[in-house]
C-alpha cells in the first residue's frame, strides 16, 4: 500500500472520526469539511486515482458508491447529497488514494466550481 494519510488512517497510525468500516472500505469525517456533512469513503486497497482503477476494481468501485449512499441515509441527508471523486491535481485531488466525498446538509449549485 502506498503510504498516504489515508493508509495511515486505515492502519490506525493516525486517528480519524470513523463512521463506517467493512472488509473493503473505511469512511470517516473530513477534517476540513466543505458542508455540514462531509465524509470520505476510501477503499482499503491502494488505488491512487480513479483513472488507475482496473476492470478488476469494478465491484469495489460499485461497493464504495453503495456504501456512500447508505452513509448518506444514516446521516439524514438521503434527500439531497452530492458524491465527488477528484482525479488528479488539476481537479483538486490532494491525497493520492482514491476517495469519494459525501457532501450534504446544505444546498449546492450547478455547475460545481
Q: Which residues are catalytic?
A: 99
Contact 99, 41 (CB under 8 A): yes
Percent of residues in the chain assigned helix, strand, coil, to nearest 5: 30, 20, 50
Which stretch of DSSP H or E encloses residue 10?
Answer: helix 5-10
Q: How far are the Cα atoms of 18, 33, 91, 110 from residue 113, in angstroms, in the given order?
A: 28, 16, 10, 8
Contact 36, 75 (CB under 8 A): no
SS3 label, residue 15? coil
Amino acid at each position: 500500500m502506498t503510504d498516504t494519510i489515508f493508509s495511515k488512517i486505515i492502519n490506525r497510525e493516525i486517528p480519524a472520526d470513523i463512521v463506517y468500516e467493512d472488509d473493503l472500505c473505511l469512511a470517516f469525517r473530513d477534517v476540513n469539511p466543505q458542508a455540514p456533512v462531509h465524509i470520505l469513503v476510501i477503499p482499503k486497497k491502494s488505488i491512487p486515482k480513479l483513472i488507475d482503477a482496473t476492470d478488476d476494481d469494478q465491484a469495489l468501485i460499485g461497493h464504495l458508491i453503495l456504501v456512500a449512499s447508505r452513509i448518506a441515509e444514516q446521516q439524514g441527508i438521503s434527500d439531497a447529497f452530492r458524491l465527488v471523486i477528484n482525479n488528479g491535481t488539476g481537479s483538486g485531488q490532494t491525497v493520492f488514494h482514491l476517495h469519494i466525498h459525501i457532501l450534504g446538509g446544505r444546498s449546492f449549485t450547478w455547475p460545481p466550481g
